[in-house]
Amino acid sequence: MTAPGQRSAIGVNRWAGKGWLLLTLPFGFTTWAAFLYIGIRAKRVSWIVWAAVYLGLMVASGVLDTPAHPSSSAQGLAAGLLLLAWIGGGVHAFAVSTAAVKRIRSDQDPALVAARDRITLRSEGRHLLATQPELAREVGVGRPDMRGSKDYGLIDVNHCSAAALVRLPGITDDMAKRILDNRAGAGGFTSVEDVGMLLDLPPSTVDQMRDMAVFVQDPAGDSDQ
């Protein structure tokens, strides 16, 4: 269960770097500025084009809602364009906000963002294993050796092939073969400490494995794959 403090931190992180969304609030008048900002910061031409589109909507609305166009139809069209820039632009900006933040941050430090993404992905995979194990097995969490699997950057020590096991830090081809030879008779492993004892690994290597290794247990009646 997520603690209140953790929920608060998650909420803060969710909105981090999205202050520019406030530009979509003033009745659409500055929605174009929000897209221009992320387009320039993220170096994405399509968002700059959208900035021009929303600016064009505002200009057109202003031109139609003048004494030069006194008809009710012109005023209605002006109001419609204003609502499109305000509501439509706001929804559009919110929809791309996460991608915009990631792209802006990746331009600043690609290695750091990639590392964060890997950590987040592994955390999501572990959560899926803990809360919906059947679904996790179905999509292939921890099984990069299965075609079409969603392994979440994890290695299932109890089921992966030798070729996948060597992705674990410090595991050689010979070590992977020893894992395969021993896991069936032992009924599978339950922790990196089990593997470390089998292979006589140094504590530092065991700790390095901890981030990627998972130990999926077979349901009753199933055998090792």
In a domain, residue 40? The reply is yes
Mean per-residue pLDDT for 220-224? 53
- Read off the pLDDT of each residue in 53-64 and give the average, rounded to a whole number: 89
Domains identified in the chain, total number: 2
96 shares its domain with 12: yes
Q: Burial, 115: exposed, middle or buried (Cβ in 10 Å; 0-12, 13-18, 19+)?
A: exposed
Say what the pLDDT of residue 165 is: 96
Tell me whether strands 213-214 and 155-156 are parallel, antiparallel or unpaired: parallel
Of 62, 67, 93, 90, nearest to 78 by C-alpha is 62
pLDDT at 1: 47
Residues 83 and 162 in one domain: no
**What's the mean per-residue pLDDT of the chain?**
85
Higher pLDDT, 27 or 169: 169
Q: Which of 84, 108, 132 is the last residue of a domain?
A: 108
Q: What are phi and psi of 156, to 5 degrees?
A: -85, 105
* Residue 95 and residue 170 share a domain: no
Over its C-alpha atoms, the chain yields an Rg (Å, rounded) of: 26
Residue 148 lies in a domain: yes
Weakest-pLDDT range from 3-17, 187-201, 211-225: 3-17
Confidence category of residue 222, pLDDT binned at 50, 70, 90: low
Percent of the chain clearing pLDDT 70 (strictly above): 86
17 and 76 together in one domain = yes
Q: Is residue 10 domain-shared with residue 64, that is, in the same domain?
A: yes
* Same domain as 186, residue 103: no
DSSP collapsed to 3 states, 145-168: CCCCCCCCCCEECCCCCHHHHCCC
Residue-number span of the structural domain to which 196 is assigned: 141-214
Q: Please tell me the distance from the alpha carbon of residue 98 to that of residue 176, in angstroms, as a whole number.
A: 39
Write out pLDDT tens, residues 68-119. 656 778 788 888 888 898 899 899 999 998 888 888 876 656 777 788 889 9
What is the domain-level CATH number for residue 187? Answer: 1.10.150.320
Pair 22, 98 in one domain:
yes
pLDDT of 224 over the 80 cut:
no
Question: pTM for the full model?
Answer: 0.53
In a domain, 8, yes or no: yes
Do 100 and 170 sit in the same domain of this protein?
no
| Dihedral sign of CA atoms 198, 193, 157, 204 in order | negative
Q: Is residue 75 part of a domain?
A: yes
Burial of 164 (0-12, 13-18, 19+ CB in 10 A): buried
Amino acid residing at 76: G
Q: What is the DSSP letter of 88?
A: I
Residue 129 in any domain: the answer is no
The answer to whether residues 24 and 97 belong to one domain is yes
The mean pLDDT value for 127-151 works out to: 95
H or E element: which one contains 214? strand 213-214
160 burial via Cβ count (<10 Å: 0-12, 13-18, 19+):
buried
Question: What does the pLDDT read at residue 14?
Answer: 60
Class of residue 6 by CB neighbours under 10 A (exposed 0-12, middle 13-18, buried 19+): exposed
Q: How far apart are CA 198 and CA 183, in angstroms?
A: 10
**Same-domain status, 160 and 101:** no
* Cβ within 8 Å of residue 179, ≥6 positions away: 157, 162, 165, 171, 189, 195, 198, 199
**Residue where a domain stops, chosen among 88, 108, 128:** 108
> Which band of pLDDT confidence, cut at 50, 70 and 90, is reported for residue 218?
confident
Q: Which of 43-47, 69-73, 107-111, 211-215 shows the highest mean pLDDT?
A: 211-215
User: Quick check: is 86 in a domain?
Assistant: yes
Q: Which residue has the tokens 């906000």?
A: 97
